[in-house]
């Protein structure tokens, strides 16, 4: 057990170091790829007003995209990331953004807080993805919007369904051959 926990911690530290050292070049290398995922998400989801969490928000590319496309609709987006350097770049670009240094596996929020939970290309980094899914389940409102993308090279679709479906009802998937991620989503339910 102790060995397993030590391995998970090692993986997390390695992830933090990797993103801290690649933060400066991240946008140049990944902006176009990530924008394609954002476009697919925006086309499939209905964004209503409320507080949304962007978990693993990196350099704020998703917020950049929302601003560029003028998709505001009274969404207050809070970014959370485990890499300080990624957040630093995000803050330099968007001085007014709400950013938190934190861990998806231990979210520093009370339950049922968020109207929307977004996480793009971050969950495959988690040493314990089940813990991350439990945290999503805890912090986001039952009737809320969910959009999580995960690298296809890390999990196959059956594995994704087995992980997520026991926790969430009404899940949908975007099937797009050009996208390197699986996209799992759930639209807001009208009360
Ligand atoms: C591939 S980047 C994606 C960033 C952003 N979502 C985007 O679309 O550009 C993955 C991000 O997840 C963050 N991350 C990895 N593990 C995390 C964890 N346990 N908690 C919070 N963020 C994490 C990394 O620091 C990195 O910024």
Which of 21, 101, 122, 133 has most ligand 1 atoms within 8 Å of its beta carbon, as the pocket-test mutant?
122
User: Measured on CA atoms in the order 10, 132, 68, 183, is the torsion positive or negative?
Assistant: positive
Q: What is the pLDDT of residue 191?
A: 52
Name the more confident of 141 and 150.
150
* All structural domains of the chain: 2-186 (3.40.50.150)
Nearest partner of 172 among 191, 137, 138, 147, judged by Cα? 147
114-120 and 50-55 strand pairing: parallel
Q: Is 127 in the pocket of ligand 1 (CB under 6 A)?
A: no
pLDDT digits (tens, 9 = 90+) for 50-81: 999 999 999 999 999 998 876 666 789 999 99
- 83-109: b (≥16 Cβ within 10 Å) or e: bebbbebbeeebeebebeebbbbebeb
Q: What is the pLDDT of residue 96?
A: 92
Q: What is the crossing angle of helices 61-68 and 2-44, to 10°?
A: 10
What would the mean pLDDT of 9-31 be, rounded to a whole number? 97
What would the mean pLDDT of 13-30 be, rounded to a whole number? 98
Which of 30, 58, 60, 79 has most ligand 1 atoms within 8 Å of its beta carbon, as the pocket-test mutant?
58
pLDDT at 3 over 90: no
Structure tokens, 58: 């990196």
Q: Give the confidence band of 137 by pLDDT, cuts at 50, 70, 90.
A: very high
Q: Give the confidence band of 1 by pLDDT, cuts at 50, 70, 90.
A: low
pLDDT at 28 over 60: yes
């Amino acid at each position: 057990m102790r060995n397993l926990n030590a391995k998970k911690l090692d993986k997390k530290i390695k992830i933090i170091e990797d993103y801290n050292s690649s933060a400066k070049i991240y946008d140049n290398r990944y902006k176009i790829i990530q924008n394609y995922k954002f476009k697919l998400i925006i086309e499939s989801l209905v964004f209503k007003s409320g507080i949304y969490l962007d978990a693993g928000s990196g350099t704020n590319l998703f917020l950049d995209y929302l601003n560029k496309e003028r998709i505001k609709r009274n969404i207050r987006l809070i970014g959370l990331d485990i890499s300080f350097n990624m957040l630093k770049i995000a803050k330099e670009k968007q001085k007014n953004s709400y950013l938190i240094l934190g861990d998806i596996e231990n979210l520093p929020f009370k339950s049922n807080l968020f109207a929307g939970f977004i996480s793009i290309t971050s969950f495959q980094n988690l040493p314990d993805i089940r813990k991350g899914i439990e945290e999503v389940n805890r912090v986001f409102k039952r009737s809320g919007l969910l959009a999580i993308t995960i690298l296809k090279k890390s999990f196959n679709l059956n594995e994704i369904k087995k992980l997520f479906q026991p926790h969430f009802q009404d899940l949908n998937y975007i099937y797009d051959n050009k996208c390197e991620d699986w996209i799992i989503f759930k639209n807001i339910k009208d009360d």
